[in-house]
Structure 1
C-alpha cells in the first residue's frame, strides 16, 4: 500500500471511531435523561398518592361524629 492509502485508511478508521464515540455519548445522555424522567415521574406519583391518602384521612376525621353537641 502506498503512504497515501495508509493515511486514508487511518483517517477513515479515526473518523469511524469518532462517529462511534459521538453515538455512544448521545445514547448514554439519552438513557440518563430517560431514567431521570422515569424517576421524577415515580416520585411525583408517590407524592400524589401521599397527598390523596392525607386528604382521605382528613375527610375521614371530618366525617366522625362531633362531641360538641349538648350533653343530656
Structure 2
C-alpha cells in the first residue's frame, strides 16, 4: 500500500484544488442569491413536472407494449 505524504507538492496541490472548489461554490451561491425565491421555486416545480410527465409517459408506453406483445 502506498501512503501519500501530506507535505510538499502534494499538499500544495490539494490546498490549491480545495481553494478553487471553495471559490467556485462561493460564486455559485452568489449567483443563486441573485434569483428570487419565486424564480427558484418555479424552476424546481418545472423540473419536477417534467420528471413526473416522463414517468407517466414511460408507464403508458409500457402498457401499450405489454398489450401489443401479450395480446
TM-score, scaled relative to structure 2 = 0.50
Shift of 1:32: 0.5
Structure 2 matches for 1:39-58, cutoff 5 A? none
Structure 1 length as normaliser, TM-score?
0.50
Q: Tell me: higher relative CO, structure 1 or 2? Use CA pairs within 8 A at least 6 residues apart.
A: 2
RMSD, aligned CA:
0.5
In structure 1, the gaps of 5 or more residues are: 38-72
Instruction: For structure 2, list consecutive stretches of 5 or more residues without a partner in the other structure.
Output: 1-34
Alignment of 1:1-72 (within 5 A): 1-37=35-71
